[in-house]
Amino acid sequence: HETDDDKIIMRSREEEILKNLNLLRE
């Protein structure tokens, strides 16, 4: 059962991962 907070946390975590991947790629 997901709350809105859970979704926000998951989304921000995904963004952090994507940022890290982009940094590694350069």
Spell out the domain ranges in the chain. Answer: 1-26
d(CA 24, CA 3): 32
Predicted local distance difference test score (pLDDT) of residue 26: 83
Mean pLDDT of 1-26: 94
Sign for the CA dihedral angle at 5, 10, 15, 20 comes to: positive
pLDDT band at 1 (very low <50, low <70, confident <90, very high): confident
Q: Give me the chain's average pLDDT, please.
A: 94
Q: Is the pLDDT of residue 20 over 90?
A: yes
